Amino acid sequence: MKVLFVTFFLLASNTVLLATPPQPHIIFIIADDLGWDDVGFHGSDIRTPNIDKLAHSGIILNQYYVSPICSPTRSAIMTGRHPIHTGLQHEVIGGATPYGLPLNETTMAQHLKTLGYATHIVGKWHLGFFSRDYLPTSRGFDSHFGYYTGHEDYFDHTAEDSGFWGLDLRRNLDAVWDMNEKYATEIFTNEAENIILSHNQSAPLFLYLAHQAVHAGNYHGDPLEAPQHYIDRFPDIHDKNRRIFAGMVSALDDSVGNLTRVLQETGMLPNTIMIFTTDNGGPTNGYDRNAACNWPLRGVKNTMWEGGVRGTGFVHSALLKRSQYVQENLMHVTDWLPTLYQAACGDPSHLGDIDGQSLWDMLTNQGHPVRKEVLHNIDPIGNFSALRMGEYKLVMGDISHGFYDSWYPPPRSFVSVNRSVYSKDDFFKLKSKAISVNCGPKPANASINCQPEKRPCLFHIPSDPCEFSNIASDNKYLVQLFLDRLEQLESSMVPPLNTPIDPKGNPALHGGVWQWWK
């Protein structure tokens, strides 16, 4: 009888163990400067079949917001804290500016390591590197293959930044000199594939793949760079820059497809959560010498308009209880840390004083809204702010630096912004499953009815996602509620950390490499 009881106990124990799912692998992919209209599932002229397949079979995030520019978004992903609380609310960290993500902030990699994860970063860091303590391998990552500054040449891997120039590619702490003429998107993809293939699956994997694609390369010559075979995929795009840009996007799409294939081949895909996000809106109409597109949204990268802060993103995983739907609830980039921490079997309450909220239950169950507001930014140096509360958005100050506050269709588009944005024109029939942003007709005074540098503007985003109609004058009580809330949020803000350029960061002083430390 005793033997039978022990046998039954062991069998029951094994059953419990087998029924407990392992922690999921997390593959977090960031595209750089990808615009709203640069993916197929938003109706783009650029074909992205691999991205579209994952998006449509997962959860498309249609009310998802990021910061308007790079370093703030990446800091929010890493810490779950809003940039106004980390001092990174103004512009980006320059290559020769001696500051970075504060060392008292705990990164996503450090948090996941406490849950037993192997952690790797491939690609862009852009959160400070003037001291070894600020490097990704000192902030919770087991390895890093990539670069530290905001952008590099896609082929020779040098970076122009802060008026200086030098090599910016390394494996962990060592400069990499033998990758000349190898395309950045492809070498980062190959590195990510090798990490997955060599991963010991007895532990969960966190892979943070921060592509340079589709940010412009160096600013000498042509900053848009792609191998010709990618460019040749788009003979129907007649604008030269947009065609090259499309090739850059296509290389990114191939990267997503290759990673999905390797995860499938290793048997890891069924237990993997894949995140895809841009870091900010696209720089369009020649801004930053790029050819991205946020159509039909207003504005561009580094502005508070929807085109600067409304993020392209999705979640894909077989672990989702509900999928193949469009998520219309608010989500902010700070939510990734607590959301993924909960998905990894951690308790988000252990993450400390963060601004993000765990949306895992909401996402996986297609549940009710969790987040009620999104602070886009408060920038005391740039003198602007923007806040979303419920269905309304208030903007005030010089939110677009005096330029790029219009609506920019893709080159040679068949559509006029003076007409209903999603018309019957053939351009919008390219993707039958495209996620529409229906703005309605553009009013004649759309370009002049909001002057946020003079007085606050208010928009009702669900009915006016293109920010055509400023309704502030008819909603003064609501405007005051926004101003009161902004004042409350500003009282919790820390000063920006921005510092002047330091000549000691010049790569010429460090063997031609972006490296401050000895």
Q: Is 126 a catalytic residue?
A: yes
**283-313 b/e with 16+ CB inside 10 Å = b?**
bbbebbebbbbbbbbbbbbbbbbbbbbbbbb
Query: What would the 3-class secondary structure string for 459-473 be?
Result: EECCCCCCCCCCCHH
Q: Which of 126, 151, 211, 215 is catalytic?
A: 126
Handedness of CA 356, 498, 483, 464 (dihedral sign): negative
Cα distance between residue 316 and residue 53, in whole Å:
10
**Angle, helix 49-57 to helix 240-265, in steps of 10 degrees:** 60
**Radius of gyration of the chain, Cα coordinates, nearest whole angstrom:** 23
Residue 233 CA neighbour count, 13 Å, CB half: 20
- List all residues 6 or more positions away from 264 whose beta carbon is below 8 Å from its beta carbon: none
Q: Is 56 a catalytic residue?
A: no
Cα distance between residue 417 and residue 423, in whole Å:
10
Cα distance between residue 362 and residue 2, in whole Å:
47
Among residues 406, 288, 311, which one has the least CA distance to residue 42?
A: 311
Cα distance between residue 83 and residue 496, in whole Å:
9
Query: What would the 3-class secondary structure string for 403-455 be?
Result: CCCCECCCCCCCCCCCCCCCCCCHHHHCCCCCCCCCCCCCCCCCCCCCCCCCC
Cα distance between residue 498 and residue 88, in whole Å:
8
Give the pair of three-digit tokens for residue 330.
Answer: 């608010």
274 bridge partner residues: 27, 316
Give the pair of three-digit tokens for residue 10.
Answer: 């062991």
Give the pair of three-digit tokens for residue 157.
Answer: 């891997």
Q: Which of 56, 70, 90, 120 is catalytic?
A: 70
Count the neighbouring beta carbons within 10 Å of the beta carbon of residue 515.
Answer: 21
Among residues 330, 311, 328, 309, which one has the least CA distance to residue 372?
A: 330
459 bridge partner residues: 393
Give the pair of three-digit tokens for residue 185.
Answer: 């998107």
Going from the C-alpha of 242 to that of each of 48, 253, 256, 384, the distances in angstroms are 15, 16, 21, 31
Active site residues: 70, 126
